[in-house]
Amino acid sequence: MKYPLQYLVALSLVDRRQDDLEDEFGDLPEKIKEKKDQYNELESYVKETQKVLDEVRDFILKSKKALEELKSREEKLSKQQFLVRNNKEFDAITREIEFARNEYNRISQELQLTTLKEENLVNVLEKQKQDASEALEELKELERDYELIATNQNEELNEIKAARSKIVEQIDKHTLEVYQRIRHTHKDAIVKVKKNSCTGCFSHIPPQKIIEIRNNLDKLYTCENCGRILYPEDLEIDSEYIL
């Protein structure tokens, strides 16, 4: 083959094969990303709840300890009350006992509420952990599906890679850049002219331009409507460059 145009056509065929392989993944990559985000979010809920639960449990422990201390303090004060020498001392101890009892009641009530809160948190945490583990299972399944497709494609991808580098060697940098640029918009960056039309967008190509394309195979012509590179229908491509 002597024209870059011919190599571009061969390159396009290889690239389209690769596009088809990528299409086999369908929306899997997107689904995997979404599931990953979902899992991470659920995991962060688990962590948050666990943190609050730890704090609540710490508070419960401290409250129980405080209650024990208040109880023994009250007992101690009650004993002291029998040993007082005057009314003043008696009243002072009575006030202290009163204070200890009030504190005891206050903390008891608080402890009751906090224990309820703990029970709720335990339930919430269990549900959140379950949701996260379900999401993780779903994520693993999606990743397994992905791996399966990737493994099946491995051999073909290697063939494509080899064929591609063999073709690319034959194309000058500028032509390759033009092709790659068009590939951003149109996966089929180079198309046949057939029945006086661009086979990319089906718009009419003037006969004069078709003659020009045929007579100047060393040049690149693009469709004025869609911008794809055009090549004559009967352009020959050596089979050694076709996968």
What single-letter DSSP state applies at residue 229?
E
Report which of 110, 112, 80 is spatially closest to residue 97, judged by C-alpha positions. Answer: 80
Binds Zn ion by CB under 5 A, chosen from 163, 190, 223, 229: 223
What single-letter DSSP state applies at residue 188?
S
Q: Quick check: 7 and 176 in contact, CB under 8 A?
A: no
Should residue 226 be labelled a site residue for Zn ion when binding is judged by CB under 5 A?
Answer: yes
Q: Which residue has the tokens 């204070």?
A: 99
Binds Zn ion by CB under 5 A, chosen from 179, 200, 231, 241: 200
The dihedral over CA atoms of 154, 157, 158, 161, expressed in degrees to the nearest 10, equals -160
Should residue 225 be labelled a site residue for Zn ion when binding is judged by CB under 5 A?
Answer: yes
- Please report how close the Cβ of residue 6 comes to Zn ion at its closest, in angstroms: 20
Beta bridge partners of 236: none
Should residue 213 be labelled a site residue for Zn ion when binding is judged by CB under 5 A?
Answer: no
Should residue 230 be labelled a site residue for Zn ion when binding is judged by CB under 5 A?
Answer: no
Report the C-alpha gap between 238 and 6 in whole angstroms. Answer: 9
Q: Which is nearer to Zn ion, 100 or 223 (CB)?
A: 223
Stretch that binds Zn ion, among 62-70, 75-83, 178-186, 226-234 (CB under 5 A): 226-234
Report which of 169, 174, 233 is spatially closest to residue 14, judged by C-alpha positions. Answer: 169
Q: Which is nearer to Zn ion, 39 or 221 (CB)?
A: 221
Stretch that binds Zn ion, among 19-27, 72-80, 192-200, 206-214 (CB under 5 A): 192-200
Should residue 198 be labelled a site residue for Zn ion when binding is judged by CB under 5 A?
Answer: yes
Stretch that binds Zn ion, among 53-61, 96-104, 152-160, 198-206 (CB under 5 A): 198-206
Q: Which is nearer to Zn ion, 139 or 182 (CB)?
A: 182
- Please report how close the Cβ of residue 175 comes to Zn ion at its closest, in angstroms: 19
The dihedral over CA atoms of 49, 53, 55, 58, expressed in degrees to the nearest 10, equals -170
**Interface with Zn ion in residues 101-120 (CB under 5 A):** none
Should residue 210 be labelled a site residue for Zn ion when binding is judged by CB under 5 A?
Answer: no
Q: Would you call 202 helix, strand, or coil by DSSP?
A: coil
- Please report how close the Cβ of residue 174 comes to Zn ion at its closest, in angstroms: 21
The rounded radius of gyration (Å) of the Cα atoms in the chain is 40
Stretch that binds Zn ion, among 7-15, 99-107, 127-135, 221-229 (CB under 5 A): 221-229
The torsion region of residue 30 among left (phi > 0), alpha (psi -120 to 50) and beta comes to: alpha
Should residue 135 be labelled a site residue for Zn ion when binding is judged by CB under 5 A?
Answer: no
Should residue 201 be labelled a site residue for Zn ion when binding is judged by CB under 5 A?
Answer: yes
Token output for 63: 């409250």
List of residues contacting Zn ion (CB under 5 A): 198, 200-201, 223, 225-226
